[in-house]
Amino acid sequence: MASDKELVRRLLRRAGTTYAQEAGIRLRNQPMPLFQLLMLCLLASKPIDSAIAARAARELFATGLRTPHTVLKADRQTLIDALGRADYRRYDESAASQLIDLAQTAQTNYGGDLRLLAERGGRDLAAAAQALKTFTGLGDVGASIFLREVQDVWPWARSTFDDRALNAARELGLPGDPRELGALSQGRNAQLAAALVRYAADAGIRERMAE
């Protein structure tokens, strides 16, 4: 167990930045950061580099688009321009439309407060995933990213490690059971989940971990 803990510490040092952190989101159980995370998850759901998705989210936030109200108040071209500045060009028009739909659904269904999504689903993972997938453009991938990233803010969502994270854990010789894996994170489940996904996606991280 001690060797597993040391391996987790090394992995967190090398790759433990969450995707929310990379996008500049100070994630808390409050309406604005939860909606910002939802925006990021939509952008990251496309077949595009995660760094570009994070950069696009930062650009949108810098433009002042951080809540359902501000997204709905902006014109579509403002979103397209922000995405273009982040080199999120291949999907900029479709993503802009989906972000507007996302904001409308968040405002209509939850009054802009995604904490209600958790409450209405009885703080159940399956129910939360299903509710997240009702947002246009999110799907299985986006719902998985959201729950993976939010788990340290929504403790009932621990331990959320998707298949990519679990496969990476097994490759590293770590437990393949989500709860056993979460016990090794010392309360940093979201960071460990992100680190495992980064390990799976980045050959450079795999090489550094093998040193």
- Domain parsing of the chain, residue ranges: 2-18+159-210, 21-138
**Range in 15-19, 29-33, 88-92, 125-129 with the lowest mean pLDDT:** 88-92
Question: For 137-185, what is each residue's pLDDT tens digit?
Answer: 999 999 999 999 999 999 999 999 999 999 999 999 999 999 999 999 9
Provide the mean pLDDT of the chain: 96
CATH topology of domain 21-138: Endonuclease III; domain 1 (1.10.340)
Q: Is the pLDDT of residue 64 over 80?
A: yes
Q: Is the pLDDT of residue 186 over 90?
A: no
Looking up tokens 């997938």, which residue turns up?
133
Q: Is the pLDDT of residue 2 over 80?
A: no
Looking up tokens 């291949």, which residue turns up?
90
Is there a contact between 4 and 174 (Cβ–Cβ < 8 Å)? yes
CA nearest neighbour of 164 among 192, 136, 204, 124: 192
CA dihedral 198, 204, 206, 211 (to 10 degrees): -140
